[in-house]
Structure 1
Amino acid sequence: MKKIISLILILTLMFTGCTKNISEIENFEDYRSVYSGEITTLNYLITSSTNEFGIASNLIDTLVDYDKYGIIQPSLATKWSVSEDNLTYTFKIREGVKWFKRDGTEYGEVTANDFVDSLRYVLTRENKSLTANIAYSVIKNGEKYYNGEIKDFEEVGVIAKDKYTLEYTLKEPTPYFLSMLTYVCFFPVNGRFLKEVGESFGTDNENILYNGSYILEKFEPQSKRILKKNENYWDKENVHIKKIIETYNKEADNLSPELFLRGEIDNTTIPSTILDQWIKDEKKETMIRPNRTNHYSYFYALNFDPNFSEEYEPDNWKIAVNNLSFRKSLFHSLDRKAAMLTAEPYNPEKRIHNTITPKNFVSIKDKDYTSFGPLGEIVDKDTFNKEKALEYKKKAIKELKGKVSFPVKVLMPYNTGSSEWANRAQVVQQQMENLLGKDYIDIVIEAKPPTGFLKDVRRSGQFALLETNWGPDYADPETFTDPFNTEGTYNKPHLALSYIDKNGKSRYENILNLAKSERKDIEKRLSLFAKAEAFLIEEAFIIPYSLGGGGYSASNLNPFESSYSPYGVSSQRFKGQRIMKKPMNTKEFEDGLIKWEEEREEALKNSK
């Protein structure tokens, strides 16, 4: 531990500039942070990376937005209406909103056609948008256009009726449609500019336009990016932070607590490795506060389409993972509490959860989705069970005799941008190997850089077992099925053997399609999605793990001023936030949370 602390101190001395205590900082209009995972594109119409959403959300505005209580508010649309059959949504676009170049010069006005042009781009297969399926899941003829079944985009359910009137036509009633509109596939784009820059769109900060609260003034990958307040922004009175200065450092996770103490940055996560030091230190303890959990879901995925190196025996893994008993042995052997202690040492149970879709995400008639159907029997049941793990190990060895070489190599990469993840990988490796035996499994942990981790590891199938996550894009449980459908980029359960139904499709795919097709009876829809989710868990295709958020931070931002939304990108916006003169402590956070919850309850009542 002493060596680690010494290394951190040595590295921090390498940063230039004067050292100030937080209380001495005079400029409360700039927000400063460090990061280790670089974005790979500014093209918000093709990405599905949370990291890239965070940038785009501050540069581009959407039709609607969410306030700090999670209530939909007008943004680029000033008002909207829905037809009697619930298929047509008509939006009035805010007049006078402009597109700007990086240097702040005006390019043109935001019009209804910008939303038509963006959807055309997203639904053009050649553009390889990773969120196209979100759009075509609801828009009339969207999927047919994407698949080339129709060639005329005018047949797709989006039209600019005039300069400031936008109309979407849905293929079926979709009660959660408004909640989808803060997702990137429904962001606007200026069609003329898109044609001008062509394939260069989103390659740097010169090749995009801005209509949001910030302009990306500086973009130097693996060095620095600066977001500057858009002084011509239509709602600039609600943008209080003038500059967002983000500096790249591959050791950001380790260095940021010390940099915060030195007054050089305004926000840091406090890793569990040093949490005790902060809580027991009289000065530091006044700077630290808990974080709210969020609706991101974390789970361990078992890969049915391994594409990793031969040294890790992908063929052997593929045979093993297609055996239910083998999967069940892994499923019941993961001690999630032991894993969570690496991130939440004081109260790990508050973040562990047993389903993919979190509790309190969506409900009907006061009945939570996770209580529907077979999920009701899973939601409160711990998956860790030593006896069952060993029982299934015994069965797997018998069933795989002569087919699989033991120990089975289990490639489990981790992201080096997180020290907690590195620690957790070692804990999981040792805990599972000790329980099941090194004669049965050989978990190989592999360090991978944070930049490109999503693309190079998860999407490319460079893993056998992987801690991964998914955040909701809209207010319906269908959003939590996206990682696992046939176009998903996670563990691809549709490729699992012995699960093909008579129609040639996988059992999960058939259950899922049945759920997706139910649009009128919402209770039935939730029940069908609950059946699909329970199938993934009961067949041990994934191991549910935890909620996102949680942990501890030291921050000069007030968490109760930020936009609140479980879905879309609103919660990543800096709009509305101010930099405090001193960080919030735990008592202030707890009091603030109680007040916010009371205010939110009242606001929700008044919004109905």
Structure 2
Amino acid sequence: MCVALAASTAFSVMACGGDKKPASNNNTSKGTSEESSASILKQIEGKEYDEASGIIYNAVLGDFKAAYDEAKKVTDNNDERYAKMAIAEAKMLESGIMCPTQGNGGNYRFTRVAPYSAPSVQWGLEEDKKYQYLVVDDKEFLKTDEVNEMKAKWAEDRGKGTFRDWEMKYLKDKGYKLKDELSITYSSDPKTWDCLGTSLQADTDPVLDTIDPLVGYNVENEMVGKLAESWEESDDHLTYTFHIRKGLKWVDNQQREVGDLTADDFVAGMQHMCDAKGGLESLISGVIKNAKGYIDGDIVDFNEVGVKAVDDYTLEYTLEEPVPYFLSMFGYSIFMPMNREYYTSKGGKFGQEYDNSSSDYKYGKTPEDIAYCGAFVIKSYTAKNSIVYEANKNYWDKKNQTVKKVNWRYTDGQDPTKLYKDAKSGTTDAVGLTQEIITMAKEDGRFDKYASTSNVDGTTFVAFYNLNRAIYHNSNNEKNLISPKSDEDKERTRAAMLNRHFRLALSYAFDRQTYRAQRAGDDLKATALKNLYTGWNLVYTENEVTVKINGKDVTFEAGTPYAKMVQAQLDADGFPVKAYDEKADDGNGSGVGYDGWYNVDNAKKELATAIEELGKEGVTVDADHPIYVDVATNSAVSYFKNQAMAYKKAIESATDKKVIVNVIETANFDDWGYSGYYCQKGDEMNYDMFDFSGWGPDYGDPSTFLDTLLPEYSGYMCKCLGIY
């Protein structure tokens, strides 16, 4: 998914276990090569930013990159590919560049939207499609037992093709009537309405219901045709041919027809996405033939790129090599169409002539400056107020459309009482239950009757560590979020952050359950905790597979989840983290729902090693000379500030205040965003630890996560590490 923004309320659109600890290890963490902070600092002294980024990357993530390169060479055996990617992920986790925190969901909520009335696949944007939502027209919410019964039935009936009809009958039998209007909240206005020219979830979310992909998923998560009525794959798995539905129209936001939807729209969309370089073009680099050459500027004729309109209704993609997960990529914005004539009418140009700063370039500037082919058009938009959608009268699947109007209502999350009152009154149709709302709901008797738990999705939020911090105020405004550190303290922190043991000490000291409890409450404090970057069950082996781990053959049986293979490498390296726990989920095994990182003893051991190593490099660390770690937060939303304070307390307690966390506050959401989320390069990142963002899967393969950590601007999330 586009880079996700820290979650706030259930059914709002974001700008995005147990108490067991991992077993104690007598030694500090092993399993990856290390280079001293002093050595790295000496190598990057006087170097240009990109060269310095490369030196730091190779020193810190060299083992990951080598293992990942080996994994990506495997294109003819998915199971071997998954296992080798799991080995690479283990090496990345062992590097200490991040500590996974949580996923989206796993929180209490009240809702009038029936569960699984939209797709729920982990990857892409299909799960956020709202046109088929079943929204009950009731002054109260769906009851807890009703939500749970519908969830259980979906799990039982998935794949039978019967759940949708069953759910509609179930709601009718319970006395509910359905309404065709949905009202939800959102917390960040888009910076652009061009979903092909951005990598931010805050930009794509408002547009995804207005445009459709070639293929997508039904409510039972089976792949179905959308704008394509059929498709074929060549025997060599290098060519995919799609047959576009005939008679489809593009309209503007006043529902006036602006053109026919044809195969060329997908060619135009992909070229524009590559020209705009919004941050996601790397997803097709090495996948679509010659896409990398065009993106890098080595190829200037887009006709050489492997996407071609054979005729008006036949579209052909040619790949560089077989890509087993290729079809799962189509639910994401990078493959969306764009009407060529409408784009050029708004001042858009292609190739070397592309210039979105031109005075006549209007495309994507407002909802009036895009064309629509999805279930909705945007009828009106008022910044920090509302976005109103109405049904597209020309939508190809309008006969199955249950929601005809959607109201997005802006909230900054500062007033939980208003959020709750709006949901109770029907002004909105769902509300996530913060601690303040839980208290109110228990007092008025609604909590026990209506509270349900939202599903945990595929997104992973992460605590990233800045390895090469270059700025100590926001890049867009030097007066915002200013670090209190002295120049000496800045250099000491910089040296510490380049020490692997110091980073691991921070990760092991991070009490993530207490951190999450500030939002979800004690009951659900572990529910959405994640213990690796990639979704623990994003893929499973289909067949038995044997790979070498530290020189020894290790065999994984068919049906092994990805996280279990990651754990095998971690265990072999003596790395004391539980990315997968056989005992989790009532003995079924899982990678979520427990804290597999937090261990104060391990934190102290890692810190002792870091202090010894830094001392040899001339950096003294003790209670009188602590390392200062800057963390930015939004003080206007109580649980964001409380999370930051919980982090501060955990780190300072576990390290005996040899590490001090500076919580730097702002009451402005955008100012917080410009500390990292809205930044485009690593040298704009204004923090030492960043917990404001995460990544969601774009397609069904571990590379959707691991590719984000590739060097030389290929990996979108590397900037969160202060490099590239």
Q: Smaller-chain TM-score range?
A: 0.7 to 0.9
Match of 1:331? 507
1:171 & 1:425 partners in 2: Cα distance? 45
Deviation of residue 96 (structure 1)? Answer: 0.7
User: Which amino acid counterpart does residue 191 of structure 1 have in structure 2?
Assistant: R
User: Which amino acid counterpart does residue 256 of structure 2 have in structure 1?
Assistant: T
Measured at CA, do residues 495 and 285 of structure 1 come closer, stay the same or move farther in structure 2, by a change above 3 Å? closer
User: Which amino acid counterpart does residue 411 of structure 2 have in structure 1?
Assistant: N
The one-character-per-residue Cα deviations of 1:118-147 (angstroms, maximum 9, x if unpaired) are 1111122xx222110112241010001110
Contact in 2 for aligned 1:102/1:215 (Cα 8 Å): yes
1:445 & 1:437 partners in 2: Cα distance? 21
Match of 1:190? 339
Contact in 2 for aligned 1:411/1:443 (Cα 8 Å): yes
Match of 1:167? 316
State the identity as a percent.
28
Measured at CA, do residues 359 and 181 of structure 1 come closer, stay the same or move farther in structure 2, by a change above 3 Å? same
Contact in 1 for aligned 2:464/2:721 (Cα 8 Å): no
Measured at CA, do residues 451 and 216 of structure 1 come closer, stay the same or move farther in structure 2, by a change above 3 Å? farther
Contact in 1 for aligned 2:228/2:244 (Cα 8 Å): yes
The one-character-per-residue Cα deviations of 1:218-241 (angstroms, maximum 9, x if unpaired) are 012112210111122111122222
2:287 & 2:636 partners in 1: Cα distance? 36
1:417 & 1:478 partners in 2: Cα distance? 36
Query: What is the TM-score normalised by the length of structure 2?
Result: 0.62
2:632 & 2:708 partners in 1: Cα distance? 18
The 5 A counterparts of 1:226-241 are: 226-241=388-403
Q: Does residue 247 of structure 2 align to residue 135 of structure 1?
A: no
Match of 1:363? 540
Deviation of residue 454 (structure 1)? Answer: 4.9
Deviation of residue 492 (structure 1)? Answer: 4.6
Q: Does residue 453 of structure 2 align to residue 290 of structure 1?
A: yes
The one-character-per-residue Cα deviations of 1:502-549 (angstroms, maximum 9, x if unpaired) are xxxx9xxxxxxxxxxxxxxxxxxxxxxxxxxxxxxxxxxxxxxxxxxx
Match of 2:67? none
User: Which amino acid counterpart does residue 392 of structure 1 have in structure 2?
Assistant: E
Choose from 591, 594, 597 the match for 1:383: 597
Contact in 1 for aligned 2:510/2:650 (Cα 8 Å): yes
Choose from 395, 403, 407 the match for 2:619: 403
The one-character-per-residue Cα deviations of 1:563-601 (angstroms, maximum 9, x if unpaired) are xxxxxxxxxxxxxxxxxxxxxxxxxxxxxxxxxxxxxxx
Measured at CA, do residues 495 and 235 of structure 1 come closer, stay the same or move farther in structure 2, by a change above 3 Å? closer
Deviation of residue 343 (structure 1)? Answer: 3.0
User: Which amino acid counterpart does residue 22 of structure 1 have in structure 2?
Assistant: K
Contact in 2 for aligned 1:426/1:445 (Cα 8 Å): no
Contact in 2 for aligned 1:433/1:443 (Cα 8 Å): no
Choose from 487, 493, 508 the match for 1:317: 493
The 5 A counterparts of 1:263-274 are: 263-274=426-437
The 5 A counterparts of 1:145-164 are: 145-164=294-313
- How large is the Cα RMSD of the aligned pairs? 2.6
Match of 2:207? 56
Query: What is the TM-score normalised by the length of structure 1?
Result: 0.73
Choose from 197, 200, 225 the match for 1:74: 225
Q: Does residue 478 of structure 2 align to residue 301 of structure 1?
A: no
Measured at CA, do residues 343 and 155 of structure 1 come closer, stay the same or move farther in structure 2, by a change above 3 Å? same
Contact in 2 for aligned 1:112/1:165 (Cα 8 Å): yes
Q: Does residue 686 of structure 2 align to residue 462 of structure 1?
A: yes
Deviation of residue 494 (structure 1)? Answer: 8.1
Partner SS for 2:368 = coil
The one-character-per-residue Cα deviations of 1:474-495 (angstroms, maximum 9, x if unpaired) are 0000011243222234455887
Measured at CA, do residues 404 and 183 of structure 1 come closer, stay the same or move farther in structure 2, by a change above 3 Å? farther
Instruction: Specify every segment of 5 or more residues in structure 2 that has no aligned partner in the other structure, as ranges.
Output: 1-136, 142-175, 348-360, 473-482, 543-558, 572-577, 582-595
Match of 1:560? none
Measured at CA, do residues 55 and 153 of structure 1 come closer, stay the same or move farther in structure 2, by a change above 3 Å? same
Measured at CA, do residues 177 and 452 of structure 1 come closer, stay the same or move farther in structure 2, by a change above 3 Å? farther
Choose from 369, 372, 380 the match for 1:210: 372
The one-character-per-residue Cα deviations of 1:412-465 (angstroms, maximum 9, x if unpaired) are 123457543322111111121122133433333433633475555233312110
1:391 & 1:383 partners in 2: Cα distance? 14
Q: Does residue 700 of structure 2 align to residue 475 of structure 1?
A: yes
Partner SS for 1:80 = strand
The 5 A counterparts of 1:35-54 are: 35-54=186-205
User: Which amino acid counterpart does residue 297 of structure 2 have in structure 1?
Assistant: G
Contact in 2 for aligned 1:115/1:189 (Cα 8 Å): yes
Deviation of residue 46 (structure 1)? Answer: 1.5
Comparing 384-393 and 87-96, the one that deviates more: 384-393
Partner SS for 1:293 = coil
Q: Does residue 139 of structure 2 align to residue 22 of structure 1?
A: yes
Partner SS for 2:496 = helix
Contact in 1 for aligned 2:264/2:312 (Cα 8 Å): yes
Deviation of residue 150 (structure 1)? Answer: 1.4
Comparing 402-411 and 54-63, the one that deviates more: 402-411
Measured at CA, do residues 213 and 451 of structure 1 come closer, stay the same or move farther in structure 2, by a change above 3 Å? farther
Deviation of residue 404 (structure 1)? Answer: 6.2
1:115 & 1:448 partners in 2: Cα distance? 42
User: Which amino acid counterpart does residue 685 of structure 2 have in structure 1?
Assistant: G
1:226 & 1:140 partners in 2: Cα distance? 39
2:716 & 2:634 partners in 1: Cα distance? 17
1:35 & 1:233 partners in 2: Cα distance? 25
1:494 & 1:251 partners in 2: Cα distance? 28
Contact in 1 for aligned 2:635/2:665 (Cα 8 Å): no
Match of 2:42? none
The one-character-per-residue Cα deviations of 1:329-376 (angstroms, maximum 9, x if unpaired) are 112111122222223321333322321112221112211111225456
Contact in 2 for aligned 1:59/1:215 (Cα 8 Å): yes
Partner SS for 1:200 = coil
Contact in 2 for aligned 1:100/1:210 (Cα 8 Å): yes
The 5 A counterparts of 1:235-254 are: 235-251=397-413, 254=416
Measured at CA, do residues 392 and 448 of structure 1 come closer, stay the same or move farther in structure 2, by a change above 3 Å? farther
Match of 1:582? none
User: Which amino acid counterpart does residue 318 of structure 1 have in structure 2?
Assistant: R
1:105 & 1:226 partners in 2: Cα distance? 18
Measured at CA, do residues 490 and 419 of structure 1 come closer, stay the same or move farther in structure 2, by a change above 3 Å? farther
Instruction: Specify every segment of 5 or more residues in structure 1 that has no aligned partner in the other structure, as ranges.
Output: 1-19, 497-505, 507-608
Comparing 146-155 and 371-380, the one that deviates more: 371-380
Match of 1:351? 528
1:284 & 1:495 partners in 2: Cα distance? 43
Contact in 1 for aligned 2:645/2:663 (Cα 8 Å): no
Deviation of residue 244 (structure 1)? Answer: 1.0
Measured at CA, do residues 448 and 397 of structure 1 come closer, stay the same or move farther in structure 2, by a change above 3 Å? farther
User: Which amino acid counterpart does residue 171 of structure 1 have in structure 2?
Assistant: E
Partner SS for 2:369 = coil
Partner SS for 1:47 = coil
1:176 & 1:267 partners in 2: Cα distance? 34
Choose from 72, 89, 108 the match for 2:259: 108
1:273 & 1:293 partners in 2: Cα distance? 22
